[in-house]
């Protein structure tokens, strides 16, 4: 019986495979499990090591938070979330403050979210932060033992004449294994999705941005000034084609993300230093007079020089805005596999979790309805809705990437445009003509009073 609706399926449930145990895949598996629909998740990683996986996330009320609530995991989320982690400060390279948002106060000890519904609502609306690794732990541990088959690296999906003849070819312990017989295969396998490769020739495009991730342990003693500036939240330094972001993680560690515009997709081969070597990278970034961040404020130098333990170079990729594929019975995509974006809008994981929520609803309705073609119709309806929804977010992300990483001049000249785009994304269409004049007027007056 469906624990959410109380209905009994009209027919035996379909056999479903999810490729990838990331947020979208595990959320979908959790929702289907609650509905009494068995599912198998295949994950290439050998085990759930919950390693540090980048920075922090803020889940939005009507997307990520809504999915967690539907999955019965909101209280688990509150146990790990940081209610005072939404402090945000954006500055220029000289540490002049451009935007500052005060963090939300932590809940009082007397306010128990599990017993006080008003407290639970207030905390959700504050959009508290959570580490990526903590979110993954919550989702994977919510699934019955054996749901996730670890160490199954998908090599390719061979499409057959019908859904049950589709062949999933895995590498497991250096041996090839093939799985068939699924009514639905769902690709939640990220940027370089093998499932997407079976549906489309479209590959991710280079976004023109390189990135380096570092980490500062025990920052209160190793980098006290920087630690105070981050204030349990986020410090964004913005320059012309450059960005340095410092975020506090749940264990107190500061994660440093260094981004820069570069036309060379293979910049790690041509940069002249080993971008995986921390000491070499620190020296190159701050080298006088031509290091990327040589002329930045000493606070940002501290963010680079106090880093320890890791130095992870990346290149950012994206799928084209409006990417779609020809519908194929028995196969679909969610999350980055369906709509890979850069992180500059902060919407990626929320869109992925909403994908899981909406696809689960379609599958559950199809199983309860009992029609022979109900599952395929439900998946097709999901894809049509998701394509439209994701296109809107992808366009916003693309525009913000261009503003933040490719605009010329002082950040003060382009921040109003970025804020206007955020505002348009959240207000009704009939108010869109007012967004740009409002934000530009606000920042004009703000700058006047600061002089």
pLDDT of residue 382: 98
Cβ 378 vs Cβ 37: under 8 Å: no
Distance of CA 82 to the CA centre of its chain: 17
| 80 and 71 Cβ atoms separated by less than 8 Å | no
- β-strand partners of 19: 42, 187
> Can you give the pLDDT at residue 257?
97
Confidence at residue 47, expressed as pLDDT on a 0 to 100 scale: 87
Residue found by looking up tokens 């981004």 in the block: 259
pLDDT number for residue 309: 79
Question: What are the residue ranges in the chain where pLDDT is below 50?
Answer: 109-111, 113-114, 124
Spatial contact of 186 and 18, defined as CB atoms under 8 Å apart:
yes
∠ CA 125-113-126, nearest 5°, is: 15
Q: Report pLDDT for 253.
A: 94
As a whole number of angstroms, the distance between CA 356 and CA 280 comes to 42
- Omega before 289 within 30 of 0, i.e. cis: yes
The per-residue pLDDT for 443 is 83
Per-residue model confidence (pLDDT) at position 48: 82
**CB half-sphere exposure, 274, CA atoms < 13 A:** 6
Give the HSE-up count for residue 279: Cα atoms under 13 Å, Cβ half-sphere: 0
pLDDT, one tens digit per residue, over 118-161 is 555 555 456 678 999 999 999 999 999 999 999 999 999 999 99
Q: Pairing mode, if any, of strands 184-187 and 16-19?
A: parallel
DSSP code string of 117-179: HHHHHHHHHT--EEEHHHHHHHHHHTSPTTSEEET-EEEEEE--SSGGG-EEEEEETTEEEEE
Nearest CA to 314 out of 286, 281, 284, 354 is that of 281
Residue 111 is predicted with a pLDDT of 46
- Give the per-residue pLDDT at 6: 54
Where does 203-297 have alpha helices with state H?
219-222, 224-230, 267-270, 278-286
Tens digit of each residue's pLDDT (9 = 90 or more) over 200-258: 999 999 999 999 999 999 999 999 999 999 999 999 999 999 999 999 998 999 999 99
Instruction: Give the pLDDT confidence score for residue 366 in this predicted structure.
Output: 95
């Amino acid at each position: 019986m469906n624990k959410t609706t109380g209905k009994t399926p009209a027919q035996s449930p379909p056999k479903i495979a999810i490729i990838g145990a990331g947020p979208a895949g595990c959320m979908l598996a959790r929702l289907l499990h609650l509905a009494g629909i068995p599912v198998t998740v295949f994950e290439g990683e050998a085990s759930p090591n919950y390693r540090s996986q980048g920075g922090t996330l803020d889940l939005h009320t009507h997307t990520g938070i809504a999915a967690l609530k539907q999955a019965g995991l909101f209280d688990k989320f509150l146990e790990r979330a940081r209610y005072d982690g939404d402090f945000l400060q954006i500055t220029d390279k000289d540490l002049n403050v451009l935007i500052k948002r005060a963090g939300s106060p932590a809940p009082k000890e007397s306010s128990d979210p599990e017993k006080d519904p008003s407290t639970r609502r207030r905390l959700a609306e504050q959009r508290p932060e959570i580490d990526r690794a903590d979110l993954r732990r919550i989702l994977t541990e919510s699934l019955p033992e054996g749901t996730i088959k670890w160490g199954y690296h998908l090599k390719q999906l061979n499409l057959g004449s019908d859904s049950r003849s589709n062949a999933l070819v895995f590498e497991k312990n250096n041996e090839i294994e093939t799985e068939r017989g699924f009514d639905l295969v769902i690709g939640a396998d990220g940027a370089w999705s093998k499932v997407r490769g079976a549906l489309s020739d479209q590959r991710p495009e280079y976004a023109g941005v390189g990135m380096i991730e570092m980490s500062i342990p025990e920052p209160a003693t190793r980098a006290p000034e920087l630690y105070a500036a981050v204030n349990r939240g986020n410090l964004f330094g913005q320059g012309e084609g450059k960005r340095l972001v410092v975020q506090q993680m749940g264990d107190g560690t500061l994660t440093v993300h260094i981004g820069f515009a570069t036309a060379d997709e293979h910049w790690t081969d041509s940069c002249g230093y080993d971008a995986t070597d921390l000491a070499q990278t620190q020296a190159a970034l701050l080298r006088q007079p031509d290091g990327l961040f040589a002329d930045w404020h000493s606070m940002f130098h501290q963010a680079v020089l106090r880093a320890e333990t890791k130095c992870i170079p990346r290149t950012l990729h994206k799928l084209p805005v409006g990417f779609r594929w020809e519908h194929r019975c028995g196969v679909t995509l969610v999350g980055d596999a369906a709509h890979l974006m850069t992180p500059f809008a902060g919407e990626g994981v929320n869109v992925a979790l909403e994908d899981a929520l909406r696809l689960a609803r379609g599958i559950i309705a199809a199983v309860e309805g009992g029609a022979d073609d109900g599952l395929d119709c439900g998946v097709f309806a999901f894809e049509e809705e998701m394509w439209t929804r994701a296109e809107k977010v992808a366009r916003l992300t693309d525009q913000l990437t261009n503003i933040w990483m490719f605009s010329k001049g002082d950040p003060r000249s382009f921040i109003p445009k970025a804020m206007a785009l955020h505002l348009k994304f959240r207000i009704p269409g009939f108010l869109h003509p007012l967004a740009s004049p409002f934000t530009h007027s606000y920042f004009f007056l703000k700058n006047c009073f600061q002089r």
